[in-house]
């Protein structure tokens, strides 16, 4: 019987030592992972539910975290690279939009100037054309007429001769 009690005592001492080691491991883990001492954790995070229920919740949370997979640490660097590229391209887009608007403005100014010069030249040539026609053909009437007077950039010019209204496109 004495041997049996000695064996039980030894077995219990081994169990106590294992529990001490386990407790030390858990306290170290608490300190390393959460930077908390046991006392600070107990004060800050008071357990309001049953220990068994708390263990179940922790297990489920750990499983959920594991299901999320590994964290992509390269994503932070990738985000910075993509952000810089986006900002660069946004600036380029803005510059191109401004250049496009400037070109449209220049084109409109050129169209206005070409329209004005064309009309002024047309009026000047038309007045001389009527005189030159009479001299060349010993009389008669002819006129220069615009085919699209409302659209001087795309108009044509026709020669209208006398009352015959014969047209010659130029």
Considering the domain architecture, whether residues 56 and 86 belong to the same structural domain is answered as no
Considering the domain architecture, whether residues 111 and 52 belong to the same structural domain is answered as no
Instruction: State the DSSP code for 159.
Output: E
What are the two backbone dihedrals, phi and then psi, of residue 138, each rounded to the nearest 5 degrees? 65, 40
How confident is the model at residue 157, as a pLDDT? Answer: 93
How many structural domains is the chain composed of? Answer: 2
Query: Which domain, by its residues, includes 163?
Result: 75-169
Considering the domain architecture, whether residues 93 and 161 belong to the same structural domain is answered as yes
How confident is the model at residue 164, as a pLDDT? Answer: 42
DSSP SS3 for 36:
coil
Q: For residues 88 and 170, what is the distance between their CA atoms, to the nearest angstrom?
A: 52
Q: Answer for the pair 132, 117: CB distance below 8 angstroms, yes or no.
A: no
Q: For residues 10 and 24, what is the distance between their CA atoms, to the nearest angstrom?
A: 21
Burial 62-81 (b: 16+ CB within 10 A, else e): eeeeeeeeeeeeeeeeeeee
Q: What is the pLDDT along the chain (170 residues), one digit of tens a residue?
A: 778 878 888 888 888 889 888 888 888 887 888 888 888 887 888 778 888 888 898 899 988 888 888 888 888 889 999 999 999 999 999 999 999 999 999 999 999 999 999 999 999 999 999 889 888 888 888 999 999 999 999 999 999 886 544 444 44
Considering the domain architecture, whether residues 108 and 153 belong to the same structural domain is answered as yes
Sheet holding 157-161, edge to edge: 142-146, 157-161, 166-169
């Amino acid at each position: 019987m004495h041997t049996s009690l000695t064996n039980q005592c030894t077995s219990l001492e081994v169990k106590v030592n294992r529990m001490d080691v386990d407790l030390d491991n858990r306290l170290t883990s608490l300190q390393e992972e959460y930077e908390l001492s046991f006392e600070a954790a107990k004060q800050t995070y008071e357990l309001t539910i049953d220990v068994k229920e708390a263990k179940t919740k922790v297990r489920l949370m750990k499983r959920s975290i594991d299901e999320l997979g590994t964290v992509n640490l390269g994503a932070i660097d990738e985000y910075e690279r993509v952000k810089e590229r986006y900002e660069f391209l946004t600036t380029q887009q803005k510059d191109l939009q401004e250049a496009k608007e400037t070109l449209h403005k220049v084109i409109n100014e050129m169209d206005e100037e070409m329209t004005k010069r064309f009309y002024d030249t047309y009026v000047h040539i038309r007045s001389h054309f009527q005189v030159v026609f009479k001299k060349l053909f010993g009389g008669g009437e002819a006129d220069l007429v615009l085919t699209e007077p409302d659209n001087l950039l795309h108009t044509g010019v026709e020669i209208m001769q006398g009352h015959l209204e014969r047209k010659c496109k130029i």
